[in-house]
Amino acid sequence: MDNLLAARSQMGMSLAFHIIFATIGVSLPLMMTIAEWRWRSTDDPAYLLLANRWAKGTTILFAVGAVSGTVLSFELGLLWPWFMQYAGAVIGMPFPLEGFAFFTEAIFLGIYLYGWNLVPGWFHLLSGFIVTISGVLSTVFVTLVNGWMNTPTGFDMVAGKFANIHPFVAMLNPAGIPEAVHMVLAAYTAAGFATAGIHGWLLLRRGRNRFDEVAIGIALLVGGVAVLVQGVSGDAVARMVAARQPMKLASLEGQFHTETGASLRIGGIPFPDERETKYAIEIPHGLSLLGFHKYNALIKGLDQESQSDWPNVRIVHICFQIMVGCGSLLSLFALAGGWLAWRKRPLTKHTRFIKALVLVSPLGFVALEAGWIP
C-alpha cells in the first residue's frame, strides 16, 4: 500500500467512525427539545422522562464525537500537510466558526443538563434550542469545506500558488450550501429512524407503554419529515453535480458514453474494461431529466477523460445506489406512517408496522456511510 492510499484509508476510517456520533449529536438535541416542549405544553411526565434520557444520551455521544473530531483535525495536518499549508488560507475560516459553534453547544448543553431546577423554564427550553442550532451550524461549517474541495472558489492561481484569496467566497462555494443542507437532513433522517427503531424494539419487548409511544412519535416525526425533504435536497445536489462535476455524475451513474437523453440506471454493475453498466433497470431520458430538467440534455460520459483518471467506478456506482435505495425505502416508510397518522390510527397499535420500523431503522446510517464513500 502506497502512502497516498494509506493516508486516504486512515482518513476514511476516522470519518466513518466520527460521522455516526456527529450525526446523533446533531439530531438528538432537536428531539430532546421537542420532548421538553411537549412536556411543558401537556404536563405529561412521559415527555419529561424522555427529555432527561435523551439529554444524557446527547451528552455522552457529544463527548465521543468531540474526541473523534479532534483526531480528524490532527489527521488533516499530519496526513495532508502540503494541502493545509497552501489551501489553509483559503478554507481556514469555517474551522474557527465551527469551533465557536462547538463551544456554544457545549456551554448550553451543560446548562440544559444541570439547570432543570436552577434556571427559569423558558430559559431551559431556550438552551435546548441553542444546542440544536449550534449542532446544525457545526455541521454546516464543516461541510462547506468539503463543498470547496468539490467546487473550489475564492482565489486565483498565480505561479502555482493561491493569490487574491476571498475567504467568504471560498466558504460560500457552489457545492457548499447544497451539500450542507443534504448532510443536515441526512443526520436527522439517520438518527430519527434509528431512535424510533430502538424504541420500537423496546416496545415489542415490554408491550405498549406511554414512554416508548411518545419517543417513537417524536423520532419518526423528525426522521420522516427529513427524509421526505431530502428528495428536494437531493435534486438540488444532483443538478449542481451535473453542471459542475460532470465526471462525478458519470461515475455515480456508471455513464461511460457521452449522449443526449441519457437513461437513469437503477442498480447495475459497471464493467470499466467493457465500458458498460450491466444488469441495471434503465429509465429512458431519466438522467438528463434529473441532471438538467431537460428531456434530451447532453450528459458527459467517462469517455471524456483518460481511464487512468477514473475513480473505482464500480465502488462509486454501487455505493451511490445503496444510498439512493435506502433513502427511497425510508421515504416510502415515512409516507406509510404519515398515512396511518392521518387516518388517526396510533402507530404503536400496528405490530407489523413496528416490526417493519425495527428492520428499516438502520438504513439511514447505511445510506449515510455509503453516500460519503463516493
Whether residues 145 and 239 fall in one domain:
no
CA proximity to 201, closest of 88, 348, 72, 94: 348
Whether residues 334 and 251 fall in one domain:
yes
Return all residues near 151 (Cβ < 8 A) that are at least 6 apart: 173, 174, 175, 176, 240, 244, 245
Structural domain boundaries enclosing 73:
3-173
Give dist(CA 349, CA 351) in Å, integer: 6
Whether residues 13 and 153 fall in one domain:
yes
Strands of the chain, DSSP E: 156-158, 161-163, 259-260, 264-271, 276-283, 298-299
Whether residues 125 and 16 fall in one domain:
yes
Total number of domains in the chain: 2
User: Are 9 and 359 a contacting pair, CB within 8 Å?
Assistant: no
Please report, in tens digits, the pLDDT of each residue of the chain (374 residues total).
688 888 888 998 999 999 999 999 899 999 999 999 999 999 999 999 999 999 999 999 888 988 888 898 889 888 998 888 888 889 889 999 999 999 999 999 999 999 998 999 999 999 999 999 999 999 999 999 999 999 999 999 888 888 899 999 999 999 999 999 999 999 999 999 999 999 999 999 988 899 999 999 999 999 999 999 999 999 999 999 999 999 999 999 999 999 999 999 999 999 999 999 999 999 999 999 999 999 899 999 999 999 988 999 999 999 999 999 999 999 999 999 888 888 777 777 888 999 999 999 999 999 999 999 87
Q: Which helix (H) or strand (E) holds 119?
A: none
Beta bridge partner(s), residue 271: 276
Give dist(CA 210, CA 83) in Å, integer: 53
Q: How far is CA 35 from CA 215, 222, 234, 241, in A?
A: 8, 12, 29, 38
Residue 56's φ and ψ, nearest 5 degrees, are -65, -40
**Residue 312 domain-assigned (yes or no):** yes
Strands of 44-148, DSSP E: none
**Residue 197 domain-assigned (yes or no):** no
Give the per-residue pLDDT at 73: 87
Q: Which of 173, 208, 226 is the last residue of a domain?
A: 173
Instruction: Summarize pLDDT for 52-72 with one digit per residue, the tens.
Output: 999 999 999 888 988 888 898
User: Are 156 and 164 a contacting pair, CB within 8 Å?
Assistant: yes
**Residue 216 domain-assigned (yes or no):** no
